[in-house]
Structure 1
Amino acid sequence: MGNTKVSRRFRAMSELVQDKDYNYTEAIELLRRSSSAKFVETAEAHIVLGLDPKYADQQLRSTVILPKGTGKLAKVAVITKGEKITEALSAGADLVGAEEVIEQILQGNIDFDKLIATPDVMPLIAKLGRVLGPRGLMPSPKAGTVTIDVGQAVQEFKLGKLEYRLDKTGIVHIPFGKVDFSEEDLAANLLAIKESIERNRPTGSKGKYWKTMHICSTMGPSISIDINSLKEI
């Protein structure tokens, strides 16, 4: 790694960021200033929690609805039957059906960001695990993607509902908008994430739950947030 090349753009942006914990509002303002790629970058949060995912009671997997959206309209597919097909379509699902959608997925044609299924078709979709599992698209009740309330689920994922989970190193990585959002909108989304992680604290969590939180844009430098500044709200 000794001779890793750092681009002039990245070096210039990194110089804006001091080695300290920022109040979350300052951090968001800095994130927008330090984003300089030629495309609209995503704002990302990387949160280290005092959890060890080896233990069943210290795992974290949930969803959060970003009040200001993700900046990207999600494409939602639904596998269901009967009158739920109409419900999914009227809620704005992009692809709806049963066997034909399953067939399409098995052939590797996966043109969607979220897949929702009703409980009655779960036996049918078991065989999709090998295709969807590695992509994190397999429907699951914990992620809110196996449900009877198809219409509501479709609308929520369209609006900006995100699934997040603790990775095996104890970190949650989650996007919270785009760098061209206003600072207020990015702050509202970040606070929604903080509240959701707080609310879903696993029963086995011991000691300090929040360890560190950093935000960055896709190509920008990492900015450390003073977690207490988020808690005072």
Structure 2
Amino acid sequence: MPRQGKRYRADLEKASKTPVSLVEAVNRVKSFKQTKFDQSVEIVMHLGIDPKQADQLIRGSVSLPHGIGASKRVIAFCSDELVEDAKAAGAIEAGAEALVKKIEDGWLDFDVAIASPDMMRVVARLGRQLGPKGLMPSPKNDTVTPKVVEGVKDFAAGKVEFRNDSGGNVHAIIGKHSFEPGKLVDNAQHFIATIEKMKPSATKGVFVKQIALTATMTPSVIIEHE
């Protein structure tokens, strides 16, 4: 078992063992010692869903009020007439057959793939390359959209994608450690509200079981939630 560092142990003493308000949770994470890099702040929600049931899966995307303090490398599968507009909006690559071929040859240096609906017949060939890495465009998280240029702009600016894992947890970055506390609170509240609205009708009992806030190299702080 890896030995916890001195900084982590010191931070652990500040992390409450009992749930605290969202504002207090943000303040505690902010009070943890800074590192040489600006850590990402992440929210984790443990949901009362059955991940094995297709009608209870949680997946989507959301633009947070204050962004997340980072841009993403976005590509766009689109018609030739939209290529230049997509690149102007922030896409590092855009196109159809040529872009598919580039990925088939092994290029995967991007974070998000956007596609217009008519391009999915071409993109379908990339299921083996993109599917296992979670990069396959999908209407469920707004990466398949007729408004390709707008989609590129949103995701390049840091629009957050999320999906539950096999344990029923949803993870998402909500900002940076350097953010003002109020901005982290706003982003967290917006994300929590987004997930709450997505409660599947098939889910029984408590939907949101626990919420925690953490930074890249810090302990987590449990948030009070009714």
Q: Structure 1-normalised TM-score?
A: 0.92
Q: Check conservation: 1:35, 1:219, Cα contact below 8 A.
A: no
| Deviation of 1:35 (Å) | 4.2
Q: Which 5+ residue runs of structure 1 have no aligned equivalent?
A: 229-233
| Deviation of 1:65 (Å) | 0.8
Supply the AA of the counterpart residue of 1:63. Answer: S
2: distance between equivalents of 1:65 and 1:94? 20
1: distance between equivalents of 2:218 and 2:56? 31
Structure 1 segments, 4+ long, off by >4 Å, are none
2: distance between equivalents of 1:11 and 1:154? 41
Q: Check conservation: 1:65, 1:162, Cα contact below 8 A.
A: yes
1: distance between equivalents of 2:99 and 2:128? 16
1: distance between equivalents of 2:16 and 2:213? 13
Q: Structure 2-normalised TM-score?
A: 0.95
Q: Check conservation: 2:7, 2:33, Cα contact below 8 A.
A: no
Give the equivalent residue in structure 2 for 1:202: 200
Give the equivalent residue in structure 1 for 2:43: 45
CA RMSD of the aligned region, Å?
1.4
Q: Check conservation: 1:45, 1:173, Cα contact below 8 A.
A: yes
Supply the AA of the counterpart residue of 2:209. Answer: K
Check if 1:176 corresponds to 2:192.
no
Check if 1:147 corresponds to 2:145.
yes
Give the equivalent residue in structure 1 for 2:56: 58
Select 1:5's aligned residue among 3, 9, 16.
Answer: 3
Give the equivalent residue in structure 1 for 2:122: 124
| Deviation of 1:107 (Å) | 2.1
| Deviation of 1:189 (Å) | 0.9
Question: Mapping of 1:104-119 within 5 angstroms?
Answer: 104-119=102-117
Deviation digits for residues 196-219 of structure 1 (CA, Å, limit 9, x no counterpart): 101111121211111001111001
Supply the AA of the counterpart residue of 1:167. Answer: D
Q: Check conservation: 1:65, 1:192, Cα contact below 8 A.
A: no
| Deviation of 1:41 (Å) | 0.6
Select 2:17's aligned residue among 13, 16, 19.
Answer: 19
Give the equivalent residue in structure 1 for 2:157: 159
Q: Check conservation: 1:36, 1:220, Cα contact below 8 A.
A: no
Aligned residues: 226
Q: Which 5+ residue runs of structure 2 have no aligned equivalent?
A: none
1: distance between equivalents of 2:176 and 2:106? 29
2: distance between equivalents of 1:220 and 1:160? 23
Q: Check conservation: 2:43, 2:211, Cα contact below 8 A.
A: yes
